[in-house]
């Protein structure tokens, strides 16, 4: 069997690696060029994502490019402590989460897939896909037509494959937050932050996060509740102008963000954040969508990449354990849909807590303290990061 995989982000190369374990050959088609492999900021994988990397035998590669994260600490605009939550139950050897540059995970997975014999092509755009009954095809922007037995859309929230499978599929939803990310190198502020933890501040006008690295840098992000930023505005705004905007937004909040922004490099600016809840149809004939193309939790969930990695492994298991493409896709959907849709819903709630209304803003700290004491607790969210994959178990 040969799989055409559209998208070389996280789900795409991870699926190629998983399919190789069950003897399926793949081609990964990615629009980004190798020169763009550094564009983007940092993110964290929860223990369930780390577990999936281990199933694929690529955890060591990712770990060498990242650092451990155990906890999210929540702080109010005045600096008062609101609560703390681990990224999930630890793995057998004590590992919890892994923080690294988002594009680096994609490029490391792709490089490893290539090393293991997968045909990975970067700088190619898929312009259309087709299911022809006994085979599938993908047409590239240079006119090349590739042929395979199955086609996997791992092409992200604006998936072309999702629309090819179901032209009435709902589009992704803007969650009301723009995102900025950066790094401040060799800063004494790193020593003021708790090691192996994100410090999240529910600020007056923005939600921020900062994480010290083992090298003495601090990586950080700012989420701004505001309308989506147009591409033309993004293109016309300089880093200094973005920095001035961010400094104004965090001006009245406690914590190190002002100095981190003032002395840091912007790695991501004016990124609009989306989610995708219920996509009614995941597969048709020989084509299927996975990862963000099928179900994108908002970045606030901290789960999108981990779910994409889980999908990759479960899809390969489904193909291994069934005797037809249709049965495999049905088994995959049965194993995945309920879990991922619950996590997208949880992510939407967590995004909206970053955008409080006027009344919510007044009582924000008091409300959040109660939320982290009674509603969002370790035991209540353990099912998210505590999920583990048994590679040898048959997919029901
Ligand atoms: C700012 C931000 C912060 C985030 N933080 C976290 C976090 O802390 N933890 C977490 O788990 N998740 C986080 N996420 C979400 C996570 O990045 C996604 O859920 C994850 O990347 C999904 O992987 P994917 O492979 O499905 O999609 P993507 O990573 O989006 O990959 C899709 C790929 O398909 C390619 N592509 C699209 N169309 C075509 C085409 N026609 N032809 C060829 N290639 C195509 C794209 O170039 C892209 O590389 C964050 C997301 C954002 C935006």
216/341 Cα distance (integer angstroms) = 38
Instruction: Choose the weakest-confidence range: 171-180, 236-245, 361-370.
Output: 361-370
Of residues 360, 345, 75, 364, the one with CA closest to residue 210: 75
Ligand 1 centre and the CA of 291: distance in Å?
8
For residue 77, tell me if it sits in a domain: no
- Distance in angstroms between the alpha carbons of the first and the last residue of the chain: 22
CATH number at residue 311: 3.50.50.60
As a whole number of angstroms, the distance between CA 92 and CA 109 comes to 23
The whole-number pLDDT of residue 89 equals 96
Q: What angle do CA 360, 362, 365 make, to 5 degrees?
A: 80
Nearest CA to ligand 1 atom 45: 7
214 pLDDT above the threshold of 90 = yes
Q: What is the pLDDT of residue 359?
A: 58
Please state which of the ranges 72-81, 192-201, 328-337, 352-361 shows the lowest mean pLDDT: 352-361
- Domain tally, the chain: 1
pLDDT, tens only, 162-189: 999 999 999 999 999 999 999 999 999 9
Give the domain extent around 158: 2-69+97-172+277-354
Q: Which residues line ligand 1 (CB under 6 A)?
A: 6-12, 29-32, 43-45, 102, 125-126, 154-156, 160, 179, 271, 273, 291-293, 296, 299, 302-306, 308
Residue at 153 is within a domain: yes
Round the average pLDDT of the chain to a whole number and report it. 95
Is position 261 within any domain?
no
Kindly state whether residue 86 falls inside one of the protein's structural domains: no
Q: Which atom of ligand 1 is nearest to the CA of 41?
A: 1
Average pLDDT over residues 182-207: 96
CA gyration radius, the chain? 21
Q: How far is CA 373 from CA 74, 82, 357, 369, 370, in A?
A: 12, 9, 22, 6, 5
Q: Please report whether residue 146 resides in a domain.
A: yes
- Which of 9, 45, 164, 294 to mutate to test ligand 1, by most ligand atoms within 8 A of the CB atom? 9
Query: pLDDT tens across 82-119, in order?
Result: 999 999 999 999 999 999 999 999 999 999 999 999 99
In the predicted model, is pLDDT for residue 33 greater than 70?
yes
Q: How far is the CA of 317 from the centre of ligand 1 (A)?
A: 22
Asked if residue 347 belongs to a domain, the reply is: yes
In the reported structure, the alpha carbon of residue 96 is separated from the centroid of ligand 1 by a whole-number distance in angstroms of: 22
Residue 75 placed within a domain = no
For residue 214, tell me if it sits in a domain.
Answer: no
Q: What's the 304 CA to ligand 1 centre distance in angstroms?
A: 8
pLDDT digits (tens, 9 = 90+) for 321-362: 999 999 999 999 999 999 999 999 998 887 676 656 655 666
């Amino acid at each position: 069997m040969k799989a055409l995989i559209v998208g070389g982000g996280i789900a795409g190369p991870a699926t190629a690696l998983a399919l190789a374990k069950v003897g399926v050959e793949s081609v990964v088609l990615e629009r980004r060029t190798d020169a763009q492999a550094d564009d983007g900021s940092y993110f964290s994988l929860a223990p369930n994502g780390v577990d999936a990397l281990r199933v694929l035998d690529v955890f060591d590669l990712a770990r060498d490019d990242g650092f451990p994260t155990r906890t999210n600490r929540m702080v109010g605009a005045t600096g008062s402590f609101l609560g703390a939550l681990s990224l999930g139950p630890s793995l057998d050897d004590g590992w919890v989460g892994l923080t690294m540059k988002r594009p680096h995970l994609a490029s490391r997975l792709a490089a490893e897939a290539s090393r293991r014999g997968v045909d990975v092509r970067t700088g190619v755009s898929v312009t259309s896909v087709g299911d022809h009954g006994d085979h599938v095809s993908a047409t590239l922007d240079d006119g090349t037509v590739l042929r395979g037995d199955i086609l996997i859309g791992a092409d992200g929230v604006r998936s072309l494959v999702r629309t090819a499978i179901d032209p009435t599929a709902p589009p992704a939803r803007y969650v009301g937050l723009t995102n900025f990310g950066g790094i401040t190198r060799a800063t004494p502020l790193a020593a003021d932050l708790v090691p192996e933890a994100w410090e999240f501040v529910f600020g007056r006008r923005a939600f921020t996060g900062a994480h010290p690295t083992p090298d003495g840098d601090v990586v950080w992000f700012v989420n701004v509740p505001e309308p989506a930023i147009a591409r033309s505005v993004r293109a016309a705004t300089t880093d200094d102008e973005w920095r001035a905007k961010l400094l104004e937004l965090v001006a009245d909040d406690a914590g190190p963000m002002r100095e981190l922004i003032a002395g840091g490099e912007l790695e991501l600016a004016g990124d609009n954040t989306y989610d995708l809840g219920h996509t009614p149809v995941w597969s048709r004939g020989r084509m299927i969508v996975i990862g963000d193309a099928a179900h994108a939790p908002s970045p606030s969930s901290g789960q999108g990449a981990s779910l994409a990695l889980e999908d990759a492994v479960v899809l390969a298991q489904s193909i291994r354990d069934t005797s037809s493409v249709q049965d495999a896709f049905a088994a995959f959907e049965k194993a995945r849909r309920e879990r991922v849709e619950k996590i997208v819903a949880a992510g939407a709630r967590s995004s909206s807590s970053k955008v409080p209304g006027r009344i919510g803003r007044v009582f924000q700290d008091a409300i959040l303290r109660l939320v982290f004491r009674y509603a969002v607790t370790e035991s209540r969210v353990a099912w998210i990061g505590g999920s583990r994959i048994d590679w040898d178990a048959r997919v029901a």
